[in-house]
Structure 1
């Protein structure tokens, strides 16, 4: 039985903690990870069954690895007014605690770090979990992280033991069910959206700022509560070609995302990223799907939008890299309800470049902000009418050997009696307000179909 295997692993880890209490000086590293193999466990179900916070979930787009994590061994959090220098200093200090590539800090950055972000999430928050249940291909392991550099090692070991003791067996997720909708509010409204698109596409503005990514928050006021992990599991099943991740720092708020867009993936000095911009619907048949894909590849507006993103990413990577290569022509990247234009980009990084240098350079991308970056961000900040928080931010993990971050599009923020949905569209010369508004609806179609029965 999976839980018997998990119980056995927990007891083994408890024994290792007891040994540490007797001989704490026997380990030279300042961080220690204890690991024990376990039988296969459904990770989202296990995570939803736990009562320890934070609760964190991550699955990469390639589906090779999956992580469910609870508690906090170490972490850093900035509520507001955080400078790039502050983030870089804390980031480096956390990395210096250990070179062990098994340690991973999970978390995210807000879209606009000049504004106050959501409570609990902040401008930036990263967590080295206390306990991780990690799947690598078909191999499952339970990992316990301990900070031997803690001011009070006795308390640190006691907290680690307590987290183990609070682990619950995985219960089946609640079956999907439609929520009773009390009301829906879109911000900006369509009238305001139409005005914003008109401003961005005006010749004088567009010449200096050729792209602004406008977004919308759709607030669904509901009766009762929704389980964010059940929703993410359903979303995962309908959009298998995406990153899936979630962060829940308290029972009241959870942020989940099923995002197709990679910000970057680093393996030592090798970097992989992409230009993902330009959108159309999927067809109802293979023949219609191919017609729509071909039309997307031939559409000047969408090709221009994707080319702007490609050029910007290459320009930002050039000073950080010995080599940068990018696809000359886009291909079509297919999701359940929509398809995008996609170009792969690869770089060989210079030796001194770290993950925070990459986050500063690449985020926000032109696919979620616009071009030039500062002008587009200023327009969004002043005109969009709400604070995006972690929507369109960067979420992922890092350690000394590797890192991976996704752009948090196609996402939802859960609050008591409310679910906030987010979607955006790139506005360039020739954009039509009605067509772009419909694109927002298309991007939300999957999750709305999970949540609400219209």
Structure 2
């Protein structure tokens, strides 16, 4: 199969569109695709004139997606219960049997509290145009939504979107950003108070784990390119999920996160317990020593085991089979390392993605145990709105889906960079040590922002 340059791929796809015979009684969602040439995906999406812009890169797959525009979407800005989300989700899935049709988006950490504008408590988009890489193969795709019956208008919108595509421009090299100020919410004093509350004997008897987090706001007087920032972050943490959502020029949410919520292929689901943290060593011997100390540490092992047990319990009613690693392994990132247990399940017939999301999200690794009481504590005491931080971001269709937990993430706004980090608080947690863990988790992104 010959590989087309970008202009050739656009021209070929446009011809397909012009010749397409669309039947009013056919499926409402139509997708066309052609092969394309090698493309620097983040640079390409950053160069385009339209919004939304969506980027997705799997952690241990060779898959990468840059998506533009909106063919169809569903968003819940206000309070939404599980039945409403489930109904909207099932409606989208029913519009096409094509296993290549994908909706990209996210679900907020807490759907019962106010969320960020544009992002909502849940927001998913079927893009107008996608550039997808699978291994070394690239495809350019265009999606049409003829649900309303206005076939020619939809064809023209798709042709206009293709005509507006431009070649990628090189990303500007990262420069040291002048930080005007930094504020933390909760601040250090309040953090100590919260950790002491959670580790109090009477509290911890009923709620053995609460994942407390912190919003770090950096005020800047220059424009920050979220795609340059994500590309730099990607280069330092390649064994993570990397993704970005930019619904308008004013705001972008980017993440370089190690944690998978789940991956589904047909009825097979893969997930994991990722909890328990230490730093990386300065050399190979020290790194191995710290990893072994993490494996031997009672507090961290207990935290990971709690997460494993919860996930297995949550998946069991939905599954014919659930299996999990008995022993934890060490998962290494650039500045930290985590305890990790792999979990696999075979779903019962008829179980859908929303039921999996409902069962797993938020995980004990970002919320706590029991889920309801831990999240209620976070909602009342943490002091800021998490939004999509610690939310579930990814894509779904009828046959496959993948969601990551947005734990290493940043919300870029005019004049401000919002960074997030959390730590699992259990019996034996010490406030000062957990505060230092938050600092360690921000080291990679802070080094990109503040180093020349």
1:9: which partner in 2?
Answer: 9
Q: Tell me which of 80, 83, 86 is aligned to 1:82.
A: 80
Q: Tell me which of 187, 190, 198 is aligned to 1:189.
A: 187
State whether residues 364 and 393 of structure 1, in contact with CA within 8 Å, keep that contact through their aligned partners in structure 2: yes
Q: Tell me which of 243, 246, 254 is aligned to 1:245.
A: 243
What is the Cα deviation at residue 15 of structure 1?
1.5
Q: Tell me which of 210, 214, 217 is aligned to 1:216.
A: 214
1:328: which partner in 2?
Answer: 326
Partner of 2:254, secondary structure, is strand
Residue ranges of structure 2 left out of the alignment (5+ in a row): none
1:414: which partner in 2?
Answer: 412
What is the Cα deviation at residue 25 of structure 1?
2.2
Partner of 2:5, secondary structure, is helix
What is the Cα deviation at residue 272 of structure 1?
0.3
Output the CA distance in 2 between the equivalents of 1:110 and 1:4: 39
State whether residues 217 and 423 of structure 1, in contact with CA within 8 Å, keep that contact through their aligned partners in structure 2: yes
TM-score of the two chains, using structure 1 as the length reference: 0.98
What is the Cα deviation at residue 362 of structure 1?
0.1
What is the Cα deviation at residue 50 of structure 1?
0.6
What is the Cα deviation at residue 411 of structure 1?
0.1
Partner of 1:25, secondary structure, is coil
Output the CA distance in 1 between the equivalents of 2:222 and 2:25: 49
Q: CA offsets, 1:173-214, max 9 Å, x none?
A: 001111111000000000000000000000000010000000
The number of equivalent residue pairs is 451
What is the Cα deviation at residue 62 of structure 1?
1.2
Output the CA distance in 2 between the equivalents of 1:240 and 1:370: 28
State whether residues 150 and 156 of structure 1, in contact with CA within 8 Å, keep that contact through their aligned partners in structure 2: no
Partner of 2:248, secondary structure, is coil
Output the CA distance in 2 between the equivalents of 1:334 and 1:444: 15
Q: Tell me which of 401, 404, 424 is aligned to 1:403.
A: 401
State whether residues 412 and 420 of structure 1, in contact with CA within 8 Å, keep that contact through their aligned partners in structure 2: yes
Kindly report which structure 2 residues correspond to 1:190-209, keeping only aligned pairs within 5 A, or say none. Answer: 190-209=188-207
Q: Tell me which of 162, 171, 177 is aligned to 1:173.
A: 171
1:34: which partner in 2?
Answer: 32
What is the Cα deviation at residue 4 of structure 1?
7.4
Kindly report which structure 2 residues correspond to 1:364-443, keeping only aligned pairs within 5 A, or say none. Answer: 364-443=362-441
What is the Cα deviation at residue 27 of structure 1?
8.1
What is the Cα deviation at residue 9 of structure 1?
1.2
What is the Cα deviation at residue 28 of structure 1?
3.0
What is the Cα deviation at residue 26 of structure 1?
8.4
Kindly report which structure 2 residues correspond to 1:38-437, keeping only aligned pairs within 5 A, or say none. Answer: 38-437=36-435
Output the CA distance in 1 between the equivalents of 2:87 and 2:178: 47
Output the CA distance in 2 between the equivalents of 1:171 and 1:453: 24
State whether residues 319 and 345 of structure 2, in contact with CA within 8 Å, keep that contact through their aligned partners in structure 1: yes
Q: CA offsets, 1:308-334, max 9 Å, x none?
A: 000000000000000000011101000
Partner of 1:14, secondary structure, is helix
2:18: which partner in 1?
Answer: 18
What is the Cα deviation at residue 352 of structure 1?
1.3
TM-score of the two chains, using structure 2 as the length reference: 0.98
CA RMSD of aligned residues (A): 1.4
Partner of 1:347, secondary structure, is strand
Partner of 1:442, secondary structure, is helix
State whether residues 111 and 391 of structure 1, in contact with CA within 8 Å, keep that contact through their aligned partners in structure 2: yes
Output the CA distance in 1 between the equivalents of 2:406 and 2:396: 16
What is the Cα deviation at residue 80 of structure 1?
1.5
